[in-house]
Structure 1
Amino acid sequence: MVALCGGTLEGFSFFPCLSDPHGRSNFCLKLALVMLHLTYVALLFAFDKEFIQKTNQHAWYTAAYLLLLVATLAQYFITSGSSPGYVIDAMRAINETDASGNRATSTSTSVTCTYCNVMQPPRAKHCHDCDKCVLQFDHHCVWLGTCVGQGNHCRFWWYICSETALSLWTGTLYILYLKSHIPKPWWSYAVLILLLAGLSICLLFLLLLLLFHSYLILTNQTTYELVRRRRILYLRNIPERIFPFSKGACRNLYDFCCARSSMYRMEPLPTAQELEEKLRPYTCSDVLSCRCCC
């Protein structure tokens, strides 16, 4: 029960909906994901009689599980319909408010995108699937049908978190059913074991994805910056152990969760003095004063 994220699958012509950005149908992908969730839950109700009895005796337990299912699907559609924050919209918002200071900051280190001919500030990248420049581009998620960027990274993290909880709960219910003493035909064992194996793979992927994005949030990085760091011009001369946009774990977490006054923030590159400060080794007093968190 996972929304697989990533780029196109080149070389798999028999999966045109995934390998071709222009040929795949977002509606079909969303329908497939919803049907996958409903299939796992429907088979659980169809096979596990004890679960149905538990529903009659402890309705709150089943209600909580179904509520998590509905919340996960709702979070999926909310995230897929959200905007990652496009450069052209940010430029339009700056022009409308006549923020000359912000314009100077954002354009001083900007380059012109060769694909959409707009000024591309630091941390932005042109997404070929969306055909737009995305602020703080992280990656394009095929199953969401949209990019993950500055505007929806927080929603994406909560969606992955709810998917992980739902997959863990569903897997636990499947294991409890397989360990129960209810008489079961052999084919039901085969079906449930196959489903549980697929769910286990998805759960492992979700846990790794959740931990990975949690690390990115605490260090104020993006997937694109981490994977393509040597190819990004403004990060090429910065040591790899330095996170140039990090303001400390606590401040990064606060900005990610709470500072939502504007979805069109354009972060300037750190100055040479700020980079020297980040390069300064930690001392005992720095540890006691929580320098890494502030």
Structure 2
Amino acid sequence: MAPWALLSPGVLVRTGHTVLTWGITLVLFLHDTELRQWEEQGELLLPLTFLFLVLGSLLLYLAVSLMDPGYVNTQPQPQEEAKEEQTAMVPPAIALRRCRFCLVLQPLRARHCRDCRRCVRRYDHHCPWMENCVGERNHPLFVAYLALQLAVLLWGLHLAWSGLHFFQPWGVWLRSSGLLFATFLLLFLFSLVVGLLLASHLYLVASNTTTWEFISSHRIAYLRQRPGNPFDHGLTRNLAHFFCGWPLRSWDILRAEEVEEGGSSQDI
């Protein structure tokens, strides 16, 4: 591996997340929190459970960050394969577009990510904290990661609060608990952000839409002239399809007029 590859944004972001995660965990164990009290009393079940949850959230983060989010195949496709893909992904009334950047045929709901320089199926967004796109393949894992991360953050927030003893003199308290208080504020901020992200993604999943479609429906050819969300099949079916891969009805509900805009990938 070339030396500069170690300084790539993805490596730096993932290393920073890993170091921050274990750094906060270490602070919670070193201060007089419930974790340390349980450890001193020989009650190891809850500390070990907390460690396993932290490890699980970190592994989920790395899985989402490193996996293929659903890149569209960039290899030239024979005409038969391209036709087969079009039939499988979209109704005949909606023509596949060719991306102006990577020149692949984009399935419906795919979009080109300029950060990843690839087209992603069922594109949701590019996550800078992951340094990866969230798309068709890793979106369910992303939601699972947010849920587990929120549980860990809220538990960590409670543990940090349990170690803050405000009855001490100000100078003594600052020396003994200043780092723990900073950790508490950091955990509070992260809990707020992750909680809002999880709530928004659960709403989007429940209605079978994506962040990109929700924000930019006025720019997307297959959505902007439609009064509602054509992908919504009801709460139960949407959740079953997203988390379990259960098939939905055919794309025939999207029979629409073909919009010619020079094959630009900016609108889809």
Alignment TM class, shorter chain as reference: 0.7 to 0.9
For 1:29, the equivalent position in structure 2 comes to: 13
For 1:268, the equivalent position in structure 2 comes to: 251
Q: CA contact under 8 A between 2:93 and 2:255: conserved in structure 1?
A: no
SS of equivalent residue, structure 1 residue 83: coil
Q: CA contact under 8 A between 1:220 and 1:245: conserved in structure 2?
A: yes
Q: CA offsets per residue over residues 82-124 of structure 1, 9 Å max, x none? A: 1111222699698399668427747942211111111122211
Cα separation, 2, equivalents of 1:103 and 1:200 = 42
Cα separation, 2, equivalents of 1:217 and 1:103 = 19
Cα separation, 2, equivalents of 1:51 and 1:223 = 38
For 1:68, the equivalent position in structure 2 comes to: 53
For 1:187, the equivalent position in structure 2 comes to: 175
Q: In structure 1, which of residues 114, 122, 127 is the aligned counterpart of residue 100 of structure 2?
A: 114
Cα separation, 2, equivalents of 1:155 and 1:173 = 27
Cα separation, 2, equivalents of 1:108 and 1:225 = 17
How far apart are 1:164 and its partner, in Å? Answer: 0.4
Cα separation, 2, equivalents of 1:90 and 1:269 = 28
- The amino acid across from 2:112 in the alignment is H
For 2:188, the equivalent position in structure 1 comes to: 200
Query: Quick one: percent identity of the two aligned structures?
Result: 30
Cα separation, 1, equivalents of 2:88 and 2:139 = 23
How far apart are 1:79 and its partner, in Å? Answer: 1.0
- The amino acid across from 1:132 in the alignment is R
Q: In structure 2, which of residues 116, 132, 135 is the aligned counterpart of residue 146 of structure 1?
A: 132
Q: CA offsets per residue over residues 208-232 of structure 1, 9 Å max, x none? A: 1000000000000000001111111
SS of equivalent residue, structure 2 residue 209: coil
RMSD, aligned CA = 3.1
Cα separation, 2, equivalents of 1:254 and 1:260 = 6
- The amino acid across from 2:116 in the alignment is C
Q: CA offsets per residue over residues 246-287 of structure 1, 9 Å max, x none? A: 1111000000111179xxx9x7362469xxxxxxxxxxxxxx
Cα separation, 1, equivalents of 2:92 and 2:255 = 18
Q: 1:260 to 1:36 in 2, by over 3 A?
A: farther
Cα separation, 1, equivalents of 2:178 and 2:223 = 51
For 2:265, the equivalent position in structure 1 comes to: none
Cα separation, 2, equivalents of 1:60 and 1:215 = 35
Tell me the TM-score normalised to structure 1 length: 0.74
Cα separation, 1, equivalents of 2:58 and 2:166 = 29
Q: CA offsets per residue over residues 48-96 of structure 1, 9 Å max, x none? A: 2653231243110101100101101111111112111122269969839
Q: In structure 1, which of residues 113, 126, 136 is the aligned counterpart of residue 122 of structure 2?
A: 136
For 1:228, the equivalent position in structure 2 comes to: 216
Cα separation, 2, equivalents of 1:176 and 1:136 = 43
1:124 aligns with 2:107: no
Cα separation, 1, equivalents of 2:192 and 2:140 = 21
For 2:32, the equivalent position in structure 1 comes to: 48
Q: CA offsets per residue over residues 25-62 of structure 1, 9 Å max, x none? A: 21111111011111111111211265323124311010
How far apart are 1:192 and its partner, in Å? Answer: 2.1
- The amino acid across from 2:52 in the alignment is L
For 2:260, the equivalent position in structure 1 comes to: none
SS of equivalent residue, structure 1 residue 256: helix
1:175 aligns with 2:158: no
Cα separation, 2, equivalents of 1:62 and 1:182 = 27
Cα separation, 1, equivalents of 2:101 and 2:210 = 22
